Chain A
C-alpha cells in the first residue's frame, strides 16, 4: 500500500476544484469498495484520495421526471436502490441485477456512480442500464455534458470521462409496460463468482413478431456490447425457433473471445448461444 492523502470536501464546487488541479493520480472515493481492494492488492497507487461522503445527500436518491425518465443520483448506494419501491416498479430488471452484486455488506457501501466509473467488464449493472438506453450526466469546472453509457464504457477500467469530470447521475427511460426484460448472469464457479457472461434483454413482441428488442452482452468482451445486427435479424421476420437459433449463432460470431480462468473461448460462445436461445424463448413465450 502506498502513501496517499485524504480529503473530504464539503461541496461539489470544492470537488471540481480539486479535480481541476489536474493531478493525474487523484482518485475519488464514493463507496470505496473496489478502490480499497485495488489499493490493498497494489494494483493502484493513488495520490490524493478525495472522499465524496459529504455530497451523499445532495447526489443520491431516485426520481422519475414527467417525461418518464428515471434519474438516479451517483452517490445512491446499491442497497438503497435494491430496496427502492419505486425503482422496483419502474425498472424491475435492474433490481434483479442489483441483488446479484457481491453481498449486502458491499452493496451497503458501493454506489452506482462508482460502479459505472469503475468500468470493470464483469459488472452486473452496465449491461442492464445500457440495454435500457441509459446516459450519465457529468460535470467539470468547464460545464456539464451527457454521455451515453455505450460511449462512456470503453473497456477494462477505461471510460471517456475527462480528468476534472465528476459523474453526477445516471438517467434512463422507464421500461415500457409492454416490454419483457431479463438479466441473466452465468457463473461457472461458485454462485458469488463474477459472471463469466451477462446478458441483458428487453423484448417487445406482438403476436409472434418482435417490434423492439435490446440485447446487451457483458463479461466476454471488454465493455458491454449491444448486439445490433442480431436485434435487426430478430425484427426482420416472424419469430420462430429456427430464427432464434440463427440469432444465437450470429451472436456468437460477433465476438472475439479469449480463454481465461472462468472458461475457454469455446465454452463462452456455447453459453452465449444457450442463454440467447433460452431468454428469447422465455421472453417471447415461444
Chain B
C-alpha cells in the first residue's frame, strides 16, 4: 500500500519541526503548567499542591495590584502607540521628499537596546539636580524652583514606564501603518474628495477602514509584547515606588528568583495565558481570513 509509505516519509520530513515544537514550546509550557501546580522551591524537589498557588494569588493583595498595574501599563502604552503611529504614518505618507530618510530615522528607537532605552528614560525623568533632562531644562528655564521627582509617585512612575515603552515601539506601528496606507488605492481618496469629503472624512471613511486589519494585528501583537514586558519596568523602577509599577513579569521574577518560590512565580505568568491565547486566536483568525 502506498499510503503508509507516504505517511512514514511525511513523518520523517516533519520530525525536525515536531521535535522543535515539542522541545521548545509544548514541553516548556507543559512543565510550566505542572510547576504552577506544585510548591516548587529552588533547590528542593517539587510537591503537587493542586490549585493552591492560584488560590493564594487570587487572595494576594500585591497580585491584585500587579493585575491593575499591568492593565494600565499595557492599555496606556497601546493607546499612545496607535495614536502616534498613525500620526507618524500620516505625516510620512504625505511627504515625498526624504521619506525614506525619516522612515529610517523613526526606526531608531525600534532597533535600540531596550536596556539602553530604559536607562535613558530613567535619566530623562531623574530628579538628581543637574542630571535629569526634564528637570534640568525646566530649572534652567526658570520654570521650576525645585526639581520634580517624577518617579517618586505611583502615577509619575507609571507614566514614565509607559512613555519609555511607547517610545520604543511606536515606530513599528508607524511603519506598519505607512505600508498599509500606501496600499490603499489613490482612487478611493479621489472619489471621496469628489463627493465632498474633507481630510477628516477621508481619514475616517477611507484610511481607517483600509488599515483595519493592520490595526488589529499590530494592536494584538503589541498587546502580547507589552503585557509580558520586563526590561523597561525592571530597569527604570524595579516595580516601585512600593508596588506602584509592579507588573506580571517583574513580580513573577521577584517571587521566583528572590523568594525562591518557583512554583508560585510560574503561576503568576500562567495567569496571563488565557488573555494571551485569546489575543493569539484573534490574530490568527484575522490572518487566516485574509489568506482565504
- Genuine A/B complex: no
Interface of A toward B, CB cutoff 8 Å: none
